[in-house]
Amino acid sequence: MNPLLILIVMIVDTLENASRYYMLHPAFEMAMDYLENADAGGFKPGHVELSGQDVYVNSMERLTVAEEEAVWESHDSYMDIHFMVEGSERIKYAEPDKMKISVPYNKENECTLFEGDEGLEVNVPVNGFVVFFPGEIHKAMIACGEPTVAKKMVAKIRLD
C-alpha cells in the first residue's frame, strides 16, 4: 500500500450518532452494539471475539501517558474503533507524508510504527469514539494534562 495515497478520513463522534456509520461495514453495528453495552462499574479488561478474529474488542484499564511516551502506529488490515468508557484521553493522528517509518509492518502485531512530531489531536470524551481506517497513523492514550486511569475499548474489524 502506498502511504502517500492514503487520505485521513477518521471519524470522531458519540454513541448517540453511531447508527450514522453502520453502512461503513456489515460488522460496524455489531461492534457498536457491544461498545454501547459497556458499563464502567462492571468493566473488565480483556479480549472478546464477536466474530472470531474478524471482529473483536480489546478492553483496557490503563494510565494515560505523556505525549512523548505514546507511540505512532497504523494497521493494514483492521479498522479501529477507539471508545472511552471512563476517563479521558487525547488521540493524535498524522498525515503519512509527515511521518517516518521506525518499525516496518509486522504481520503478527498487524502494526507499523512511526516517528514524527507533527499531528492533529482530538479529545475523546466518555461515550465518544474515534474510527481509524487501515493506514491511518495515530497514537492514543495521551494524557489530558496529568496522567489518569482510563477505561477504554478498541473494537477491531478486519477489512482485508
Domains of the chain are: 3-158 (2.60.120.370)
Per-residue model confidence (pLDDT) at position 67: 94
pTM of structure? 0.90
Q: Over the stretch 23-46, which tens digit does the pLDDT of each residue have?
A: 999 999 999 999 998 887 889 999
Burial of 66 (0-12, 13-18, 19+ CB in 10 A): exposed
Phi and psi of 44, rounded to 5°?
-130, 120
**Amino acid 38: pLDDT:** 85
Q: What is the pLDDT of residue 117?
A: 84
Q: How far is residue 51's CA from residue 63's CA, in Å, rounded to a whole number?
A: 29
In angstroms, the CA 21 to CA 29 distance is: 8
DSSP 8-class letter at 142:
E
Residue with cell 470524551: 125
Residue range 122-150, pLDDT digits in tens? 988 899 999 999 999 999 999 999 999 99
pLDDT at 10: 82
pLDDT per position as a tens digit, 87-125? 999 999 999 989 999 999 999 999 999 999 888 999 888
What whole-number distance in Å separates Cα of residue 153 and Cα of residue 45? 9
CA–CA separation, 151 vs 147, rounded Å?
13
Measured in whole angstroms, the distance separating CA 43 from the mean position of its chain's CA atoms is 18
